């Protein structure tokens, strides 16, 4: 059957194992079950022909339209944000989260109220732009049994590490996070770069 015109990559694979450009610096299991150990992480776009033999885990997600951002916020985000892959961004974080049934049972307006009016999720992210670049990947509608709902990938310079910590702590302290029932925080360092 004909498919939609090919577009920019939307599907991304995060592979934990013993190879890859990103060295695992630290893994914190913030809520729910941990994931297996890995010393390196690779990020690969597109459909994988097969999983690398040495992989200990594979997390997949797809970029999509924003679910909560209104026009004014979208304009502000687009004007301040920078892309991934900046040379100085030798620090990264991969933070998979899952939200509970109570969250997914809320109506759209209720989710927006918790997300922004109560938790300032967009405002907090905006405060750390362009220092902290990010890409959100959705998993919840990727299949019926995905281990997480979202994978967020962040990149920043070592000098912005403290700012990134503030961002993460502010979100975790928000009302939105009461709906998070699984979260793993994987901190990474890009090797082969003069630090």
Site residues, a second copy (CB under 8 A): 1-4, 6-7, 9-11, 33, 35-36, 46-47, 57, 62, 64-71, 73-74, 98, 104-112, 138, 140-147
Residue with tokens 């961002």: 167
How far is CA 174 from each of CA 48, 103, 170, 171, rounded to the nearest angstrom?
36, 14, 7, 5
Nearer to a second copy among residue 64 and residue 169 (C-beta): 64
Nearer to a second copy among residue 40 and residue 137 (C-beta): 137
Nearer to a second copy among residue 83 and residue 158 (C-beta): 83
Least distance (Å) from a second copy to the CB of residue 94? 14
Instruction: Read off the tokens for 102.
Output: 């109570």
Least distance (Å) from a second copy to the CB of residue 108? 6
Spatial separation of the C-alpha atoms in residues 70 and 56, rounded to whole Å: 39
Nearer to a second copy among residue 62 and residue 157 (C-beta): 62
Least distance (Å) from a second copy to the CB of residue 179? 12
Q: Which residues of 58-72 are buried (b: 16+ CB within 10 A; e: fewer)?
A: ebbbeeeeeeebeee
Collapsing DSSP states into helix, strand and coil, what is residue 172? helix
């Amino acid at each position: 059957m004909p498919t939609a015109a090919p577009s920019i990559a939307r599907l991304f694979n995060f592979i934990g194992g013993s190879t890859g450009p990103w060295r695992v610096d630290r893994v914190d299991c913030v809520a729910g079950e941990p994931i297996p150990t890995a010393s390196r992480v690779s990020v690969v776009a597109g459909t994988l022909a097969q999983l690398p033999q040495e992989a200990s885990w594979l997390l997949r997600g797809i970029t999509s339209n924003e679910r909560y951002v209104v026009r004014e916020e979208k304009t502000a985000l687009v004007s301040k944000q920078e892309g991934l892959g900046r040379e100085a961004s030798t620090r990264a974080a991969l933070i998979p989260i899952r939200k509970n049934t109570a969250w997914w049972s809320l109506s759209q307006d209720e989710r927006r109220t918790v997300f922004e009016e109560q938790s300032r999720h967009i405002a907090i992210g905006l405060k750390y732009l362009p220092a902290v670049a990010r890409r959100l990947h959705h998993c919840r509608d990727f299949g019926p049994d995905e281990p997480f709902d979202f994978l967020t990938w962040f990149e920043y310079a070592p000098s912005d590490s403290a700012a990134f910590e503030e961002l993460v702590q502010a979100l975790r302290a928000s009302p939105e996070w009461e709906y998070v029932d699984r979260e793993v925080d994987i901190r990474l360092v890009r090797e082969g770069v003069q630090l």
